[in-house]
Chains A and B, each alone.
Chain A
């Protein structure tokens, strides 16, 4: 190699420019790749959530952007004299508290029922049954039908005059009078819970079925040889192996049920006399129909602690177990 070629190659070997270095930097590249996802999250999640919380701190109404009022939408104490104080805001609103208890009741009962029925169906479908494929399709049906459509169907099923349930029971001679499904508070609550369970079971059943199918058959064979009966096999093998899936599925189920709106609104609109209002429907009614954006937003914001609590329970109570994590020694 001559002297000049050596020198020329040395010139070509100058360090890469800033742009080239950035282009080859994993972190920098990762940042760019994450940007679209971050933008979508900010636009469709953070902004509406932030706006909701902001609105809950204002006296905004439809057509009026409102001004900041602090926590007055939630809590306001006004005293007209000594020992004569009134609490206003959500804290003093018995309809709001009623909706909170109804939401908790609705979520708890419906979720427990969905879990029990879903698990039962999943275990059933995990066996070798005739027409298994058709059965699975049938079980998925409620999930496929648009919510509002099934809600309207239930509205008819529960109708005071045209209810097919009442009609059948009368024809069978079991009752004399048509049942007032939606006119009586407790009947209305149970009717809605039934509709919600009907709609939510497929999601739980199919997801748990997917989980069941990941359990290796040899574990059941080993358990059989170890002397386990059907119940012991479920208790000691199936259920523990299913807990991670149960955690995920029930978290989602609780969140969806807690924030349910469509079914209630289509069937009862919160009636009779607010007896079936959930926090979501009450918020909609106050904000959009009543025009009090601030107050409605405050009800929505009040849901956040409950939802966070539900997530925390599943996160800490049912998070990935040590046996799933592998290699670590502790």
Chain B
């Protein structure tokens, strides 16, 4: 097991730079998730850690050793691919044993290692099958088994759950998390799904357009997003953003261009007249009486059972509110909403940074 340091790493394909200097510190035994929309460079970074892509500049350090020029097989890492990359002509046993066979490990030890991994992953009954004869979830497990067998210093996962159906994805999410708690191997996991990131990570790295937007624990990112991008990316349904300018005559508030006023805590770090983006999460909007809050017109109601989401229109802007209580809404109805002052986020309108 090992810690991984990524120091000012850049990557260019020809003249196009896709990673613009990335610094990440991944502690030993941690589960770190790289998350971001497609094209943000997260998979490229993972492949660079694996040694499948060259580092253009900067350093990747695994357990204190710079590995930029170390070939993949000597980095002592294992990777689980999005399409599993199982060898179709080898049985499950041989798929899992392949790396050990190449390393000329004694046949008895291979047998033991494979059976141990198969036991952990409930694959004992499938060792004599070909990958074709397995379901998606089983193949996923074989891919993980192949990684476990080697007992590597670092596990790399490249969007491993995106080929599975929704239900299986939730199940495998838990299994991977449980596996990590059991083996404590440093894990770097790439996904575009923020729910996977939130539920699995010790540490989330949010990436966007080749840079790191924010690094932190899941709930830290949720409660204190560093900028509009992170605020909008983490959390589902996404945070509502309402642009306006701060007014501090009497009660502090943010006035939108259409005249709607949004209440603001007095201690909010924004000066009079400053243009801001007012951010509030759907679950931090309360339903209030007509004399209070601001008015919005219900467009769509989505009852989820545990909560009800309401898409409402606020003078041309759409806003989503989520309520744990059950309310009877109907499209066209006017409702009044009030943000929970303590949970309001203010962002700089130009830079998008948190104020």
Contacts and interface: CB of A to CB of B under 8 A. Distances in A.
Interface stretch (A126-134, A172-180, A182-190, A232-240): A232-240
Given A221-B85, A224-B52, A225-B73, 19 more contacts: A216-B83, A219-B85, A221-B52, A221-B79, A221-B81, A222-B86, A222-B146, A224-B51, A225-B52, A225-B78, A225-B79, A226-B98, A226-B99, A226-B146, A236-B87, A240-B89, A241-B88, A241-B89, A323-B132
Contacts of B232: none
Interface residues of A, number: 25
A212 to B, nearest CB: 15
Interface string B51-82: 11000000000000000000011000111011
B329 interface: no
A283 B110 CA distance: 60
A232 B102 contact: yes
A12 B27 CA distance: 82
A224 B73 contact: yes
A323 B102 contact: no
Interface in A296-314: none
A327 B98 contact: no
Contacts of A216: 83, 85
Contacts of A328: 133
B89 A321 contact: yes
B133 A327 contact: yes
The bracket for how many chain B residues form the interface is 20 to 34
A228 interface: yes
A218 B83 contact: yes
Q: Is the interface of A mostly helix, strand, loop or mixed?
A: helix
B81 A323 contact: no
Interface of A: 216, 218-219, 221-228, 232, 236-237, 240-241, 321-329
Nearest to A222: B85
Nearest to A240: B89
B81 A227 contact: no
B15 interface: no
B117 interface: no
A38 to B, nearest CB: 35
Contacts of A329: 129, 133
B50 interface: yes
